Structures are given as structure tokens and as C-alpha cells.
């Protein structure tokens, strides 16, 4: 604004000193300069007003945020050129280091994947069922679409098949507007149940994530199998209140009777005999209760649900077959930034390399068909190189034992026309040389 004012005054002075024709010319310029100065002021005012308005809206929609936005990222890989799902988990070196001992490894045969990209805003998600309500929404400063689960409702993803005895599931979780007054009954119940009926009155196991903020309650686990003389009912007393204030990543691994649950990088539950009758665990159900949405606009939101068969020990597979392929190494959308929850797989690969110093690996990146051929080639190369760097920098593997390359979208293993197919095509291969 100061520069515009100086220009205006200089032109006005020239107008006074010049000839009549020149004066007319400078007069026109002076008017333009004045208008330019006015426009600059208007733009500055508009910018500041917009900023203050956004801060005010943020304080209403997210009490306690102070109008500050949280940078988001993707937790499950999406279209290669898009930013369609998110979790504000830092992928910097410090966070990667935190996840270096994370031992969750996703299954290698995808069963179900949903990021709600195919659903319209405000609609109930097409691949789910419920006895209540819910809708697909966005969260403003967090990328992607989310399923907002209605309070006191049971909701079921339509897997299209029953669960195998060995499987993994993971999803992103966001609870909005948590305050000191958020009650102890505010929970998300994660059920593994016998039937796909809209009931929990059947054989099942469950984990309750409690969002209470005035006291740390932890995670409650219970199993219920008819005829079982010794049911399990226990609360894992840990303080997860800060985790729930951000986007959290929930991971669950089931291996017949064994049940494990992680919140971000923390293993919360590891029960070897929790699932008394594995043949009766067939479906996934979510239950929300205790959310005061009317008064405080609290919401429980889920995104990027991924269910896969397996949980195979990649170390043994690599040693026996000489090659493994995984879509469990996840990146920020359109980038080569590894998401921390991918470190369980990379850790297992490092264990193979540390166990046998004669093994060298070629790391190959693949993408889905979104984006141009050229950009996908570059992206797949960068992602393979990022995995190589993680093995070197985090786990101390010698760089001369590793090579990397990218093949873009050239070698799909599934249909790129579906969300689930794209998720399978976004993968990393490790091949013994």
C-alpha cells in the first residue's frame, strides 16, 4: 500500500509540472494509480477479513483449536495424483523412528477397502449397512472423505465374504470437538461377530475405544461365546486422550485365537486366547455411543478401512520364495513420503537382511493408473527409493545390498476401474538378487 501511495504522489507532482498534454496524460495515470491503490487496500482488507472469519469458524466448529489448522496427510494410499484421504500423522524422521519397533503387518490378500471416494457427500456409504444413520462428510483441513457414524447406531461394512481365521484390519479414526466435558460413555465399539445381522446379541469379541477426556479410561476388551466358562473382560489402563485429539490409526490382527490391537505405534492388546471359537468370527461391526452431537458437535468418523487375509510372516515368505509383494507400505497421496504405520513391513524385511548378510534385494514400486504414465513412473521410482532409504537410515542396512526401480502402472494385478483394485495395484515388491 505504501508503494501505491508513493506512485500516486509522484504522478500528481508530475501533473503539476508538465505541459497541458502531458498534464492530461499524467492525470489519467494518476487516476489509475489511485484506483490501483484502492484495489490493493481492498484486497488487504478482504484477506484479513477472510482470515479472521476462518479463525472464528474454526473456533466454532473445532472448539479449542484457536483457529489453527492441522496439516493432513493420507493414511491409506489413494489415486496417485489425488489427495483423497488423510491423517495428520507426521512422516518426518522422528516419527518414523518412533514407529521403528512397530510390528503390525497387514494381510497380503485384500478383502475390503473403502475410502468413500465413490460416495456422494451427505449420503450413507454405499458399501455399508446400519440400524441408525450416518453420512459421508469432509473435515475441511483434513483431506479425504469420512464416514460420520451416528450415535447409538450399529454399522457394518459389506465385506462380500466371511472373515478368514487369519486376517488384519485397519482404519483411520477422527473424533471431533472433544472437550473436558466429553463423557466416559463416549465410545467406539469394534466388534468381530458371528453374523451380519444388526445386533450384538451373539457370539463376538469387542474392543471399546473410550474418548473420555476428564479421566484416562483406556481400552476395554470383552469376549462372549456361548458355553465359554471363562469369558474375558478387562480394561487396558493407558492414557490415549492426546491420541484421540488427532487422527488416530487403528490396526487389528487376528491369527485364529490370538487378537492384537494397536493405536498408532502402540500395541495396546495382545491376547493369545481371546477368540475362543475362530469359526464363529465372521463379520466386522462398529458401534458408537455416548456422543453428544447436538450440544457440542461431537462426531466419530472412520475412513480408509482396509481388511485383508493373511498376516503372513514376510520373513519366511521372502526366504522360501525369493519374492514378496505388499500393498501395506503406504505413502502420502501423490508423494514418496512413507506413512509411519508402514514400518512393520519394512522392519520384517530388515530382519531378513540382518539374519543373512549374503542377501541383496531389488525394491520395485508400482502405482495405479491415476495420473500420467510419466508421472507414475517417477512416483513409483521415488517410492521404491524411499523404502530403500528407510532400510538404510532406520535399520542400518548397507545401501550396497539394495537397489530400487519403479514400473509405474505398467504391471497391474487388479482392475484399476475399482477402488479396491487400485489399492491392490499400489504395491511394493522385494525381490532377491
- Rounded Cα–Cα distance for residues 308 and 431 (Å): 22
User: Residue 168: beta bridge partners?
Assistant: 253, 308
129: left (phi over 0), alpha (psi -120 to 50) or beta: beta
Top-confidence residue, 26 or 174: 174
Cell of 209: 475405544
Whole-number percent of the chain with pLDDT over 70: 77
Pairing of strands 134-137, 248-255: unpaired
pLDDT at position 389 is 94
Q: What is the pLDDT of residues 213-261, one digit of tens each?
A: 999 999 999 999 999 999 999 999 899 999 999 999 999 999 999 999 9
- Rounded Cα–Cα distance for residues 297 and 2 (Å): 45
| DSSP state at residue 417 | T
- Entry field: residues in the chain: 433
Please tell me whether residue 14 adopts helix, strand or coil conformation: helix
The alpha carbon of 244 is separated from its chain's Cα centroid by a whole number of angstroms, namely: 14
Nearest to 79 by CA among 370, 274, 336, 354: 370
- Rounded Cα–Cα distance for residues 101 and 267 (Å): 10
Whole-number percent of the chain with pLDDT over 90: 58
pLDDT above 60 (res 130): yes
Q: What is the pLDDT of residues 363-417, one digit of tens each?
A: 999 999 999 999 999 999 999 999 999 999 999 999 999 999 999 999 999 999 8
Nearest to 301 by CA among 110, 119, 127, 87: 87
Q: How many helices (H) and strands (E) does the chain have?
A: 9, 19
pLDDT at position 155 is 97
- Rounded Cα–Cα distance for residues 284 and 164 (Å): 12
3-state SS record for 148-193: EECCCEEEEECCCCCCCCEEEEEEEEEEECCCCCCCCCCEEEEEEE
Rg (CA), the chain: 27
pLDDT above 60 (res 103): yes
pLDDT above 60 (res 351): yes
- Rounded Cα–Cα distance for residues 72 and 167 (Å): 28
Cα separations (Å) of 100 from 85, 332, 342, 351?
24, 18, 10, 12
- Rounded Cα–Cα distance for residues 106 and 427 (Å): 12
Cell of 36: 490501483
Q: Give the residue carrying C-alpha cell 494381510.
A: 107
pLDDT at position 239 is 94
User: Residue 402: beta bridge partners?
Assistant: 361
Mean residue pLDDT of the chain comes to 81
Nearest to 67 by CA among 58, 75, 76: 58
Nearest to 209 by CA among 248, 246, 177: 248
Nearest to 249 by CA among 233, 237, 238, 265: 265
pLDDT at position 56 is 36
Amino acid at each position: 500500500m505504501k508503494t501505491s501511495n508513493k506512485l500516486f504522489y509522484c504522478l500528481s507532482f508530475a501533473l503539476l509540472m508538465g505541459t497541458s498534454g502531458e498534464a492530461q496524460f499524467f492525470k489519467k495515470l494518476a487516476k489509475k494509480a489511485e484506483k490501483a491503490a484502492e484495489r490493493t487496500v481492498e484486497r488487504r482488507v478482504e484477506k484479513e477479513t477472510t482470515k479472521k472469519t476462518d479463525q472464528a469458524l474454526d473456533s466454532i466448529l473445532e472448539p479449542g483449536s484457536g483457529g489453527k489448522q492441522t496439516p493432513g496427510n493420507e493414511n491409506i494410499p489413494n489415486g496417485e495424483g489425488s489427495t483423497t484421504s488423510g491423517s495428520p500423522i507426521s512422516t518426518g524422521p522422528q516419527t518414523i523412528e518412533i514407529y521403528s519397533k512397530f510390528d503390525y503387518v497387514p494381510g497380503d490378500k485384500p478383502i475390503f477397502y473403502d475410502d468413500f471416494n465413490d460416495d456422494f457427500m451427505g449420503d450413507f456409504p454405499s458399501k455399508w449397512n446400519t440400524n441408525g444413520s450416518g453420512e459421508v462428510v469432509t473435515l475441511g483441513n483434513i483431506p479425504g472423505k469420512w464416514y460420520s457414524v451416528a450415535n447409538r447406531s450399529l454399522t457394518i461394512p459389506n465385506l462380500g465374504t466371511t472373515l478368514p481365521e487369519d486376517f488384519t484390519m485397519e482404519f483411520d479414526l477422527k473424533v471431533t470437538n472433544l472437550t473436558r466435558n466429553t463423557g466416559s460413555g463416549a465410545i467406539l465399539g469394534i466388534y468381530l461377530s458371528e453374523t451380519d445381522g444388526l445386533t450384538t446379541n451373539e457370539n463376538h469379541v469387542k474392543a471399546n475405544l473410550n474418548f473420555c477426556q476428564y479421566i484416562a479410561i483406556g481400552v476395554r476388551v470383552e469376549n462372549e461365546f456361548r458355553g465359554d466358562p471363562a469369558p474375558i473382560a478387562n480394561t487396558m489402563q493407558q492414557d490415549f486422550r492426546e491420541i484421540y485429539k488427532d487422527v488416530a490409526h487403528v490396526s487389528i490382527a487376528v491369527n485364529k485365537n490370538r487378537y492384537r490391537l494397536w493405536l498408532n505405534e502402540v500395541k495396546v492388546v495382545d491376547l493369545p486366547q481371546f477368540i475362543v471359537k475362530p469359526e464363529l468370527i465372521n463379520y466386522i461391526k462398529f458401534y458408537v455411543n455416548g456422543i453428544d452431537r447436538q450440544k457440542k458437535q461431537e462426531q466419530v468418523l472412520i475412513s480408509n478401512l482396509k481388511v485383508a487375509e493373511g498376516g503372513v510372516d514376510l520373513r519366511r515368505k521372502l526366504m522360501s520364495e525369493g519374492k514378496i509383494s505388499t500393498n501395506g507400505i503406504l505413502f502420502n497421496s501423490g508423494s514418496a513420503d512413507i506413512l509411519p504405520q508402514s514400518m512393520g513391513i519394512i522392519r520384517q524385511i530388515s530382519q531378513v537382511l540382518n539374519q543373512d548378510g549374503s542377501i541383496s534385494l531389488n525394491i520395485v514400486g508400482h502405482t495405479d493408473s491415476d495420473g500420467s504414465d510419466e508421472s507414475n513412473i517417477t512416483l513409483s521410482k521415488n517410492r521404491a527409493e524411499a523404502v530403500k532409504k528407510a532400510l538404510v537410515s532406520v535399520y542400518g542396512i548397507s545401501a550396497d545390498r539394495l537397489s530400487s526401480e519403479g514400473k509405474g502402472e505398467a504391471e497391474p494385478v487388479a482392475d484399476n476401474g475399482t477402488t479396491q483394485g487400485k489399492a491392490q495395484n499400489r504395491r511394493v515388491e522385494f525381490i532377491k538378487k
